[in-house]
Structure 1
């Protein structure tokens, strides 16, 4: 009897995994082998606003790739592992979608009985690019934008027992007008494999009938205040919002307001957030009416300030908490050989940030990509300032002489501009309350750059609490807070702005290909290439010493290219599979710490 039981158990286990295995023969991270298809990225996906009752919907879904224009789910092509994009190895599919096809997903789910007294929200962390969603055959909504979360109230269409969720995605990559970062249909050089479909966690949440929809948290260290704006699904002026602030389990401050008014909390004896001391306060936000608690969420906040100030030598410097700080970190693209845009596990997601701290940096430039919410929480907790790029990429409407445009090109230019503004606002809204975000970067190297002054001024007006770097290494205009230069391979200051902070937004790119850790054995490149770790480290130190001189001359920040190798690029400090650190870490850390403290 015991022997029969063991045979049945083995058969079940193998059957579960026979529906999924990584596709292709490219290199993979160590975390790829740790994936449990029944427990994929199980961590709470939105730590900036947390509730206890939620359900993860990641895992194996049915999928199909069908020509554009199909109006309903037809026939499954097999199983896909959500939330890994269809082009990735970890999806088990590894197929390019293309502009002429749509990607269909389907799965069944049940809603816990204890959720019956309120509403049920369906959340998507991110879907690239256009998503249409049905529950039980009823369309509940659509969303465009590949980098921001969205949700739907699905309460009215739910049934007892099994429910069916269907998602249709269209993503033309560089054949469309939408922001796409480094994705391209023909990957080569600095351009990488497309990412289509669901690529962040899908989840459900139980909320009361009257509930909190968003928090917008703004610290004011000069006024010793924390401002919390709380949005709800109903605008009832008799509702009361209360915010309590906790430090190590102890209540330290609180404030109240009526619904629609910001809660201003007076903070005493504040502890400032910085890379050296990333102190976070816990928040509890309560919505009540006539003394009855309607909804409550957990959050966190930090007291910190980003600004610029002229130093004693007349140089405009970046400041954190009213003190000069040289911000120094790597260009971080956030790509994975097995998951592309999606890290295999939460441990993997945090790994690059942890190593950035280990290397002695205090900042990361998140390059033309937006990460899942948990990535920013990791930065908040570890103490890393983030420069957040807009993942733009379409042709620039203002570069072209419109008299040469045909009608389709004019339409694309107009769509590109409208959509850019929509998605940029959504990204800022999404990331506003994360303390680590210090600089907004609307454009990179003139990729899709247009109306730079207008976009920079809008960004600064919309979020005056951060600095604006209008065009990192791009067409320069006298707007925003920063002049950003790119120079490869070594650092150089070929322009200087006496009215704004001057920074080196990219330099370096020292390459080292390592056998068994490269994406494509016959094609790899760096701006310069060396043969071993010592040579790479020596070159890095040489650039770092040059940078020290340029800090005195006027640079206020610098970004080294880059954290990891990415596809055929081999200029990372770490291999693409995250298995080898390619530099002498102690030497790297020592010189990086010296640079970060250069303005002390």
Structure 2
């Protein structure tokens, strides 16, 4: 599917910002990535935002919007105090603002919408990639809808709110209490320090519109069965309909099926090419909604044949398998933060950079740590070929009866959380799973990390598995470990360490390493207490690499003892953490790349068939 996106990019309709873009500039004087200089305020992040369900007509709403910060509960603003570059959070440099909002205030956005004449007679869908945390949307002063949760996409049909001719006004109100709540927030805190980072408030992914027929395709999900050579395709539509799907390989239709929307349609292929990090084969998928024998709506997608499973080997150890073969998962803890854009990569090239460099270092997996990425990130993982462990962004519900039973099987006490808090968590986790599960690269769900807001562990693990039985569930990475899910996951810093596991679960080392080398000129806070795990102080690339290789040799021996996967902390430095392979600005690889790659491949290859 490497070839598919230009078709849609060529047809993109864009309404850019006005000449005021000339006055925009990144705010602050903190370090920036090389891509910050490539951000075009009249056309930021112009790529098609939803490659897993693509149409030819769309309009990108990124660019300069009006903004103001007002006390919580204030009326619709009459005037705005400045401009902000969407989709960068207001606390970020690339927003051009770099201001805090706080839980006592709300952030208001405004811009004008121009609906192309060619879209008349169609329904207009307004899409938000992600807004942190509560978003209330208004068109021409009328409330359109609301959404809570900072990580999942949402959309509204705004057709009936639009003026038949002339300009339309879009307003978005955002309230984000960050860690002054028990909402999922990941690593965000109001007082950043240590492993906790700057808050991210408001719109932080692409905003866009598309025209669709009244009854239209809303989603396409696929589940492959490589043993049977089948692909189950479920097409979700706005109303009951007949749909047709075609599986395409190199522009040749290799399988087709027709049936009812909402039901799984089966595509059969005798000898499908299987997807793996070594051969990330993607098939194109064409979907049509039919009425009276005619195509009413159509969309392009893609799919892959792959299987993730577990099996006990001859030595009695439970091994993770890919496509029916033992496969050791090894990759970095990936926070997905940027010094200039915070949650948002400056450009699509930047978003791809971390994935490419992770593969170049010899890894076959990424653990996306307590954050969710834009869909293009998962598309890049699908296309480039790397396994993804997807974390649920954690909450900061400390003290509510919780006790962390660190690396203790059956130890610890889960958090006491209110029914509303539990409902919010489960709602957002379900939305995130639905958003990610169409991507073959995503192979493991991780609902909890290190007992941060962990609750009802057995129930959540069971619910997660029932919602998606095609993937493995790592119920509590380094948290309060229970005999549930598919994996038992230990954390140990800085050196890898072997722990006893449940005999019926895969045993993994979910975090280790964190070796730090602060490099002057590449630090978020040059005078801050830049840190990493362990007491060893490194002088440069050579001794840092030597210690990393030493740890991989230890880890390799532990593979024979039972480890099925491992995660090294981390891809890049983040704020005052100086423990990345790369500096926070992505300008320097702090270790010897070929030596790291060779060491990593030896660990992965230690798990022989």
| TM-score band w.r.t. shorter chain | over 0.9
The TM-score, its normalising length taken from structure 1, stands at 0.94
Partner residue in 2 for 1:70: 74
1:81 paired with 2:85, answer yes
Partner residue in 2 for 1:3: none
Counterpart contact for 1:394–1:416, Cα < 8 Å = no
Secondary structure at the aligned position of 1:577 is classed as coil
CA distance in 2, matches of 1:376, 1:245: 21
Secondary structure at the aligned position of 2:383 is classed as helix
Partner residue in 1 for 2:218: 213
1:122 paired with 2:131, answer no
Secondary structure at the aligned position of 2:418 is classed as helix
Partner residue in 2 for 1:543: 551
> Aligned Cα RMSD in Å?
1.5
Partner residue in 1 for 2:591: 583
Secondary structure at the aligned position of 2:319 is classed as strand
Secondary structure at the aligned position of 1:175 is classed as coil
Counterpart contact for 1:489–1:509, Cα < 8 Å = yes
Paired residue total? 577
CA distance in 2, matches of 1:443, 1:346: 29
Partner residue in 2 for 1:357: 359
Counterpart contact for 2:329–2:364, Cα < 8 Å = yes
Shift, 1:215, TM fit:
1.2
Partner residue in 2 for 1:553: 561
Counterpart contact for 1:395–1:413, Cα < 8 Å = no
Partner residue in 2 for 1:336: 338
1:161 paired with 2:166, answer yes
Of 452, 471, 490, the residue aligned with 2:476 is 471
CA distance in 2, matches of 1:258, 1:173: 43
The TM-score, its normalising length taken from structure 2, stands at 0.93
CA distance in 2, matches of 1:466, 1:398: 31
Per-residue CA deviations over 1:389-441 (Å, capped at 9, x if unaligned) read 0001131697359xxxxxxxx99733221110111111001111110000000
Secondary structure at the aligned position of 2:315 is classed as coil
CA distance in 1, matches of 2:205, 2:586: 21
Counterpart contact for 1:133–1:166, Cα < 8 Å = yes
Partner residue in 1 for 2:394: 392
Counterpart contact for 2:542–2:592, Cα < 8 Å = yes
CA distance in 2, matches of 1:241, 1:38: 38
Secondary structure at the aligned position of 2:94 is classed as coil
Q: What does 1:36-435 correspond to in 2, within 5 Å?
A: 36-159=40-163, 160-235=165-240, 239-395=241-397, 399=401, 413-435=418-440
Secondary structure at the aligned position of 2:484 is classed as coil
CA distance in 2, matches of 1:275, 1:427: 23
Structure 1, unaligned stretches of length 5 or more? 1-12, 402-409
CA distance in 2, matches of 1:156, 1:420: 32
Q: Higher mean Cα deviation, 415-424 or 16-25?
A: 16-25
Secondary structure at the aligned position of 1:534 is classed as helix
Counterpart contact for 1:397–1:417, Cα < 8 Å = no
Partner residue in 1 for 2:412: none
Secondary structure at the aligned position of 2:590 is classed as coil
Counterpart contact for 2:220–2:236, Cα < 8 Å = yes
Partner residue in 1 for 2:11: none
Counterpart contact for 2:234–2:261, Cα < 8 Å = no
Per-residue CA deviations over 1:280-306 (Å, capped at 9, x if unaligned) read 000001110220111100000000011
CA distance in 1, matches of 2:583, 2:591: 10
Counterpart contact for 1:397–1:450, Cα < 8 Å = no
